[in-house]
């Protein structure tokens, strides 16, 4: 039981970080980014590259993978999604158009990573052997890299919450999410807010990927969709637009995910999907959804 609690909490902290990014993005921009997990894999592979080629500490590499993917996300938003926003006549039409665009983006990112791996085969799996030493907590042996990854994920999530609640930029983001027309009336540049929110979302996903690469040595370039679906399940359980809901949903899925992995790894994703379906039936707005 303690093993499930500790390791489930570690998974939950990282799942929450990934889901918070997707929740922020969809809540503000209405872009349904099903390529969210691919940005996670980009973060993992950037961490793996700088670690294997240059020996950069994986924790330090967060300052490389996050900003790099943020800039990439901003460029993608400017080139692709800003145009879609102008072409779409309603939020529903934007969701549909963005879904198709992100579906194509998913395959583009996957194949770019595969091309890189073709030249550097040792990057096939993006694990970074770091802090493999173990310590005992309440009789359970835990790897230091898992503890560090969970602590970093919580710190990043808390910093994001403080930014959204206590800064003018965070106020602009919340105003744009709640009432875009009113935000424009009071002088907020919602196009810029959308761009930054998209970049911030993929930044959080990339940081989650960097942290996961410290824990799992076999992150394949094709595992991105799995984490996208986990993030979607977390959002549905917690409620769209709810920061606290993403945290709660992330930890709940983290416990379920690890418990299933201990029993039979093949059960992991089917059980996550079952939670998603049940939640959609009994409480489609999630625990904290408005």
- Classify residue 235: in a domain, yes or no: no
Residue 13 confidence (pLDDT): 92
- Classify residue 155: in a domain, yes or no: yes
- Classify residue 83: in a domain, yes or no: yes
Number of structural domains in the chain: 1
- Output the DSSP codes for 144-185: HHHHHHHHHHHHHHHHHHHHHHHSHHHHHHHHHHH-HHHHHH
The Cα 137–Cα 3 span in angstroms is 10
Residue 89 confidence (pLDDT): 82
Q: Could you write out the three-class secondary structure of 214-229? A: HHCCCCCCCCHHHHHH
- Classify residue 258: in a domain, yes or no: no
- Classify residue 242: in a domain, yes or no: no
For residues 205 and 75, the answer to whether their CB atoms sit within 8 Å is no
The Cα 20–Cα 224 span in angstroms is 16
Rounded-to-10 torsion of CA 126, 130, 131, 137: 0
Residue 192 confidence (pLDDT): 92
Residue 199 confidence (pLDDT): 94
For residues 102 and 31, the answer to whether their CB atoms sit within 8 Å is yes
- Classify residue 142: in a domain, yes or no: yes
The Cα 208–Cα 217 span in angstroms is 15
Residue 129 confidence (pLDDT): 67
Residue 204 confidence (pLDDT): 95
Residue 158 confidence (pLDDT): 93
The Cα 152–Cα 6 span in angstroms is 15
The Cα 62–Cα 193 span in angstroms is 23
pLDDT tens, residue by residue, 225-264: 889 999 999 998 888 878 888 888 899 999 888 888 888 7
- CA 8 vs CA 3, 4, 26, 115, 227: distances in Å: 8, 5, 26, 34, 16
**Is the full-model pTM beyond 0.85?**
yes
Residue 73 confidence (pLDDT): 94
Residues of the chain with pLDDT under 50: none
Residue 79 confidence (pLDDT): 92
pLDDT tens, residue by residue, 196-236: 999 999 999 999 999 988 887 777 778 888 899 999 999 98
- CA 125 vs CA 39, 221, 278, 280: distances in Å: 16, 8, 34, 35
The Cα 209–Cα 8 span in angstroms is 17
Residue 160 confidence (pLDDT): 92
The H or E element that residue 58 is part of is none
Residue 220 confidence (pLDDT): 78
Q: Centre a 10 Å sphere on the Cβ of residue 86 and count the other Cβ atoms it contains.
A: 9
Q: What are phi and psi of 60, to 5 degrees?
A: -65, -35
- Classify residue 240: in a domain, yes or no: no
Q: What are phi and psi of 204, to 5 degrees?
A: -65, -40
Residue 126 confidence (pLDDT): 55
- Classify residue 67: in a domain, yes or no: yes
CA 127 from centre of chain: 18
Beta strands in the chain (DSSP E): 134-137, 140-143
C-alpha atoms less than 13 angstroms from C-alpha of 226 in its C-beta half-sphere:
14
Domain residues for the domain of 136 are 2-221
């Amino acid at each position: 039981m303690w093993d499930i609690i500790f390791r489930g909490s570690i998974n939950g902290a990282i799942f929450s970080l990934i889901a918070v990014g997707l929740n922020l993005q969809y809540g503000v921009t209405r872009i349904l980014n099903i390529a969210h997990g691919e940005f996670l894999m980009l973060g993992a592979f950037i961490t793996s590259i700088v670690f294997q080629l240059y020996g950069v500490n994986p924790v330090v590499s967060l300052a490389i993978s996050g900003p790099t993917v943020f800039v990439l996300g901003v460029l993608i938003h400017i080139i692709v999604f800003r145009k879609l926003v102008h072409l779409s006549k309603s939020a529903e039409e934007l969701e549909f158009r963005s879904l198709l665009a992100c579906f194509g983006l998913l395959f583009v990112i996957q194949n770019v990573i595969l091309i890189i791996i073709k030249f550097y085969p040792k990057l096939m799996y993006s694990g970074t052997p770091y802090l493999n030493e173990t310590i005992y907590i309440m009789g359970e042996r835990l790897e230091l890299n898992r503890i560090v990854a969970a602590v970093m994920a919580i710190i990043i999530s808390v910093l994001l919450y403080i930014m959204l609640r206590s800064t003018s930029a965070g106020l602009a983001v919340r105003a744009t999410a709640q009432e875009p027309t009113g935000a424009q009336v009071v002088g907020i540049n919602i196009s810029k807010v959308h761009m930054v929110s998209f970049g911030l979302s993929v930044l959080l996903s990339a940081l989650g990927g960097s942290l996961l690469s410290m824990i799992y040595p076999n992150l394949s370039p094709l595992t991105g969709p799995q984490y996208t679906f986990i993030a979607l399940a977390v959002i549905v359980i917690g409620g769209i637009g709810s920061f606290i809901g993403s945290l709660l949903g992330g930890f709940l899925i983290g416990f379920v995910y690890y418990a299933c992995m201990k029993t039979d790894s093949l059960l992991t994703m089917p059980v996550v999907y079952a939670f998603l379906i049940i939640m959609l039936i009994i409480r489609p707005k999630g625990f904290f959804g408005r």
